[in-house]
Structures are given as C-alpha cells and as structure tokens.
Amino acid sequence: MQPLQIVAVLLGLAALFTWINARFLKLQPTIGLMLCALVTSVTLMALDHWGVDVRLETTLRFVRQIDFSNAVLHGILCFLLFAGAIHVQFRRFEKHAGTIVSLAIVATLIATVVTGLILWGLLVATPFAVPLVVALLFGAIISPTDPVAALAILNSLGISKRIETVIDGESLFNDGVGVVLFTILTGILIGESDASAAVAVRLFVREVAGGILLGGLSAGIAHRLLSGVERHAANVLMTLATVTCGYAIAEWLEVSGPIATVVTGLIVGNFTLPRTTDAAARRELESFWDMLSEILNAVLFLLIGFQMLIVPLNDNSALLAALAIPTVLIARWVSVLIPVTAWTVHDHCQAERGVLVRLMTWAGLRGGLSVALALSLPPTPRRDSLIVATYAVVAFSILVQGTTVGRLYHREFDGRTDPAG
C-alpha cells in the first residue's frame, strides 16, 4: 500500500472507533480506541480459525507493513513528549522536582532491577529460563509508565495538582530513562558494550547529561526563532522543526532524544512562550500541540490494539505473560514506595503513605513505548516470549488498571482530604 493509503486507513479506523466509543462505550478515548482495535483483532482471528473468510492475510500484511517500533521510537514519541512538556508548569515542577527525579530515575532503575530479578528467579529452574541480562532487559522495557489514560481519568475526578504534576513529570522523564537503560542492556547483550558497572554508569550519564544539554541548546535556538514572530503558522513550523531536528541530532550524537525533547518542551513552555508570544498566540500554539497529541495518541493506541494480530503466541509466551503481570505490579509498588516515603515524611502525612503508594502503583500504566521497545529487540533468547509478555502487561494496564483507577481513587479519597493536595 502507498503511504497515503496507510494513513487513510489508520485515520478512518481511528475516527470510526472514536465514534463507537463516544456513542456506546463511553470510555476514556485512548482506552476505548485500543479496546475496539483489540476486539476487532481477536474477532478476525476467531473467525479465521472457524473457517470464515475474513481476508486475515490481507490484514496481517497491512499491520506488518507498519513498522510500529520505528514509528514510535523515531517519530510519534518526540511529538508526544514535547506536547506534554510544554504544559508542565515549572513552578509546580520545581516544587516537586526531588520526588519527580527520584521517581523518574531511581524508581525506574529499581523497577528494572526488581522486575528482572523476580522474573529470572521464577524461571531459572524451569525449561523456560532466560539469562539474567535478558530478564533485566524486559525490566527496562516495561518500567517506563504512560500516564495518558490514567491522568485523563483522575483529572475528571478532581485529582490534586500535586499528584498530577508528579505522575506527569515522572512519565515524561522515565520514558527517556527507560530508553537509555534499554540501549545499555541491549549493547551488553549483543556484545557491543562491556558488562561492567563502570561502563554502564558512564553510558547512562552520557545519554542523560547529553540529552539535557542538547535539550537546553535546542530550547535556546527555539527561543531565538520565536522572538518577534507573531504569525501562528510560523510559530507552529518553528516548534515542529525544533522538535524533529533536536531529536534527530540526539540520535546522531547517541544521547537521549526523549530527555532532550522533554527539556526543550519544559523551557519553551515556561520561558520562551510567555516572553515571545502574546496570550492569544500562545493559546493557538498550545491548541495545535494538543490536537496533534490527540491525533497521534489515537493512532498509537489503535496500532497497539492491532499488534495483537502479529504477536507470536505460544505456550512459553503464555507462561511468561502470566508471570509478568504480577511481577511488574510488585516491582512498581517497590519502586514508588521509597520516593513516596521520602515525600510524605517531609509533609507530615505518613498515615496516607499506603494510599499514595497504592494509587501511584495502579495508575502506573504502560503504553506504546514498551511495545515499541519490545518489537525492536535484537534476536535474543525468548524474544517472542518477551514481546508477548510486554503486550500482555500493556493490555492489562490499559484495559484493567486504566478502567478501574478511578474507582480506586474514589475508594481511597472519598470522604477525606487528599493528602497530596
């Protein structure tokens, strides 16, 4: 199919499923889209299994023609991160910077290690055992959280700005941290990098520090470009150019593109736009990025649902998937306990610590980044099983956690003052 035909099919299906969700399902939009796509995938496979001619091979060719991993890691991700970052108010972000940084870096590292160790320990004495580095690689794939669905639901319930800022800030930065850990562990696995701790730390610092510096430089260029320009179309073009060029340069320099993009978005949103554009121009620019984010998220969650068609299912995969879901939840709980404990000690709300840990554990949804990382895995032991396990965790987190996190919030906070308010 031609690129225009692929885009037409994706946008047409996204529009159709959005209408179905709005009229009948009434779920949060991204959850509704993924559910519709997932149900469609399962229905097609079931009908084909029962001998009904649904042209499944044609659908499979279409899905395989879309390189989901490249589309996310080298396209959609940078736009979504920038769109999210320009809305984060720096004064709120700065107030909770310690918690956000500890969740984005320390908690992601802890979740990666805990996930890998638990999974490796559970499988080590079975025929499905995987090397420790592969188990840790799965931890890096599945540790970054995606707050799109959770925040939309919690915001509708009046979630405090503090929790919103922490969850949003964590997810913006832990995407970059997760990609860095994935890159380091992949290099060790295929022999491109030394397995020593010193080398891993040096690579980690280079990726993170390089991303921060490049993000600051990109923001400085954007500030210069936007100064004195009042045309909406020109502002849109220059921010698009900043994001795409900055991300491409980060990949060329082998530093973290996601972190560079987030830093650029934070600076542009908090310093550049208030100083270089009037209120009306700023609203127009933010509206454009909001709309672009909505469209890209719709396509992204649609594609996640259709990846079910090409996920390599087998008995080994089913076992790993069944173990992965509780393992990831346990690792998430452990990883948020330490930062939240430090956070609540200073605010004299230790009694509410368990409530906050449970909420942030259940609201830690996984999304397209994890699926994209899994699909980009090099040939490794149990590669197909890791892809299935990743997909199972993502589907569970979006369809189960995403649809029940609102009830958890009501149960924990109804009738009491939000301790993080």
What is the rounded distance in angstroms from the CA atom of residue 220 to the CA atom of residue 227? 11
113-122, 143-152, 162-171, 380-389: segment of lowest average pLDDT? 143-152
Contact assessment for residue 333 and residue 94, using Cβ atoms and an 8 Å cutoff: no
User: Rounded mean pLDDT of the chain?
Assistant: 88
Tokens of 115: 């996930």
Q: Are 243 and 60 in contact (CB under 8 A)?
A: no
The C-alpha atoms of residue 135 and residue 149 are separated, in whole angstroms, by: 27
CB atoms within 10 A of CB 407: 12
User: In this prediction, what percent of the chain has a pLDDT beyond 70?
Assistant: 92
Quick one: which of 115, 116, 143, 144 has its CA closest to 131? 116
Count of Cβ atoms closer than 10 Å to residue 173 Cβ? 27
Asked if 30 and 298 touch (Cβ cutoff 8 Å), the reply is yes
- State the pLDDT at residue 181: 93
Q: Looking at residue 419, what is its pLDDT?
A: 47
Sign of the CA dihedral with 384 first, then 322, 65, and 68 last: negative
Of 154 and 374, more confident: 374
Q: What is the mean pLDDT of residues 28-48?
A: 93
Buried b (16+ CB within 10 A) or exposed e, 262-275: bbbbbbbbbebbee
- Determine the Cα–Cα distance for residues 51 and 61; give it in Å rounded to an integer: 19
What pLDDT digit, counting tens, does each position of 323-351 carry? 999 999 999 999 999 888 877 665 545 55
Q: Per-residue pLDDT tens for 397-418? A: 999 998 888 888 888 776 555 5
Q: Say how many residues make up the chain.
A: 421
Distances (CA, A) of 344 to 168, 339, 348, 351, 356: 18, 9, 6, 9, 9
For the question of whether the overall pTM of this predicted structure is more than 0.75, the answer is yes
| pLDDT score at 348 | 47
Tell me: the pLDDT tens digits for 200-209?
A: 888 899 999 9
Q: Which two tokens stand for residue 227?
A: 């100064």
More reliable by pLDDT, 343 or 289: 289
Taking 70 as the threshold, does the pLDDT of residue 150 lie above it?
A: no
